[in-house]
């Protein structure tokens, strides 16, 4: 499966993947998924929101056990974020057939569409639409950087955009959704475990900081006469790092826009975007509050005007404890990585379809060790042995949930 997927959407220059929603590379991934389904005698369907399902058993019987992830990528993404979950799902199904497991619940492998949001700027569009967390009206207004709207892109790829919207009947058939994913950090590597179970997805948000000063000539304006918002922005970036360390959370200014953006001009406006995440709401509130306070203090001393706007926010996602405990019980003693220890439970700062779906169906996640922790980069990696341990763990979980 890896051999088939490896060349699809791979950029020659960067070596990374550019599998954006509703592009030719995405279509190739979708064809691959359908062929994998058909090769195993699974019934393939694409739902109204462009998510793919490969069914074993009768979906209308309800209480299905579903596993899967996504095949799209961020710009120049790695090979594992998303595809590892889909490949492992098919491999785990194969393993269960080898074991002669008898399915007593319907089973499906899924590929959720447009998870990364690389093209239209919003993550998890397929699962959000299905779960009713994104209205069709809002989705219709999404545009890519070339001005192509989401419905236009869907139509061009042969999917009817007129059908998008909440899909409660389909989700009601799902009794449990388990997503396996490469870890996007180093917790498993530090702990020496190949596989872990997710406890929660951290609350996270994005804040826009607008620092306004006065544009002026870089060659003729005395330092003492300047109102330079770049300086206040710089102080704020350093404060964010300091406060994140103090709070034990994460704070990143990764995007900045400057006006007039001239080499020889003191800026009139510096707009920086803060991405912040923490294990719980209180820590996140404290952290972002401290960054804003520091920014306001520096702004006041320097005569800079500051506006802070929260642009998006996702509260903590606690995965269903009953399912998580069931999964731990199923993995207990099976020791997928031969470590002699119980499978660890860890939180994550990254969003996933499983997080979106958790509001509608019981969901859980398994993580596979990433030795460098690097993700959203061509350097993303997981060792073959760890991937195999992930498949075994997933098969154990699915067997426990779906088979007699």
Please report how close the Cβ of residue 397 comes to Zn ion at its closest, in angstroms: 19
Residue 182: C-alpha distances to residues 255, 299, 372, 383, 387 (Å): 26, 41, 11, 11, 9
For residues 82 and 347, which CB has a smaller minimum distance to Zn ion in the complex? 82
Q: Which is nearer to Zn ion, 26 or 81 (CB)?
A: 81
Report helix, strand or coil for 192: coil
- Minimum Å gap between C-beta 30 and Zn ion is 17
In the complex, what is the shortest distance from the CB of residue 346 to Zn ion, in angstroms, rounded to a whole number?
16
Contact of 180 with 88, CB cutoff 8 Å? yes
Closest to Zn ion by CB, 59 vs 351, is 351
**Please, which residue, 113 or 267, has the CB nearer to Zn ion?**
113
What distance in Å separates the CA atoms of residue 358 and residue 66, rounded to the nearest whole number? Answer: 13
Cα–Cα distances (Å) from 363 to 39, 52, 95, 201, 317, in that order, read 27, 18, 22, 12, 10
User: Which residue ranges make up the site for Zn ion (CB under 5 A)?
Assistant: 81-82
* Nearest distance from C-beta of residue 182 to Zn ion, angstroms: 8
* Distance of alpha carbon 75 from alpha carbon 52, whole angstroms: 22
Q: Which is nearer to Zn ion, 82 or 355 (CB)?
A: 82
Q: How far is the CB of 90 from Zn ion (least distance, A)?
A: 17
Q: Most distant CA pair in the chain: distance in Å?
A: 81
Smallest distance from the beta carbon of 92 to Zn ion, in angstroms?
18
**Residue 335: phi, psi to the nearest 5?**
50, 65
Q: Please tell me the distance from the alpha carbon of residue 85 to that of residue 67, in angstroms, as a whole number.
A: 8
Q: Are 85 and 180 in contact (CB under 8 A)?
A: yes
If the CB atoms of residues 57 and 349 are measured against Zn ion, the closer one turns out to be 349
- DSSP tag of 360: T
């Amino acid at each position: 499966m890896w051999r088939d997927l490896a060349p699809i959407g791979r950029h020659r220059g960067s070596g990374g993947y550019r599998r954006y929603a509703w592009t030719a590379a995405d279509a190739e991934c979708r064809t691959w998924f359908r062929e994998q389904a058909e090769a195993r005698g699974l019934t393939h369907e694409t739902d109204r929101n462009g998510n793919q399902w490969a069914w074993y058993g009768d979906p209308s019987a309800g209480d299905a056990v579903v596993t899967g992830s996504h095949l799209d990528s961020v710009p120049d993404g790695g090979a594992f974020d998303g595809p590892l979950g889909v490949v492992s799902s098919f491999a785990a199904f194969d393993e269960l057939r080898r074991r002669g497991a008898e399915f007593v619940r319907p089973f499906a492998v899924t590929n959720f569409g447009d998870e990364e949001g690389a093209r239209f700027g919003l993550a998890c569009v397929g699962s959000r639409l299905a779960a009713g967390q994104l209205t069709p009206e809002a989705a219709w207004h999404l545009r890519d950087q070339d001005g192509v709207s989401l419905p236009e892109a869907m139509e061009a790829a042969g999917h009817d955009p007129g059908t998008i919207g909440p899909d409660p009947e389909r989700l009601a058939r799902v009794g449990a959704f388990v997503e396996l994913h490469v870890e996007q950090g180093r917790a498993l590597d530090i702990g020496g475990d190949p596989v872990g179970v997710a406890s929660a997805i951290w609350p996270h948000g994005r804040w826009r900081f607008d620092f306004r000063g006065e544009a002026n000539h870089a060659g003729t304006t005395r330092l003492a006469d300047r109102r330079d918002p770049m300086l206040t922005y710089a102080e704020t970036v350093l404060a964010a790092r300091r406060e994140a360390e103090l709070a034990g959370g994460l704070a990143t200014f990764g995007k900045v826009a400057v006006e007039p953006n001239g080499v020889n001009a003191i800026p009139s406006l510096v707009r920086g975007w803060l991405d912040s995440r923490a294990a719980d709401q209180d820590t996140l509130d404290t952290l972002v509050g401290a960054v804003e306070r520091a920014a306001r203090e520096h702004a006041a001393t320097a005569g800079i005007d500051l506006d802070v706007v929260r642009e998006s926010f996702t509260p903590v996602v606690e995965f269903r404890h009953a399912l998580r405990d069931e999964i731990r019980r199923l993995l207990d003693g099976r020791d997928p990585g031969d470590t002699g220890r119980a499978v660890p439970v860890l939180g994550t700062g990254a969003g996933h379809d499983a997080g979106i779906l958790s509001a509608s169906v019981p969901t859980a996640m398994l993580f596979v060790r990433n030795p460098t922790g690097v993700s959203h980069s061509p350097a993303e990696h997981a060792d073959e042995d760890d991937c195999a341990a992930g498949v075994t763990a997933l098969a154990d979980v699915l067997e426990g949930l779906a088979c007699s």
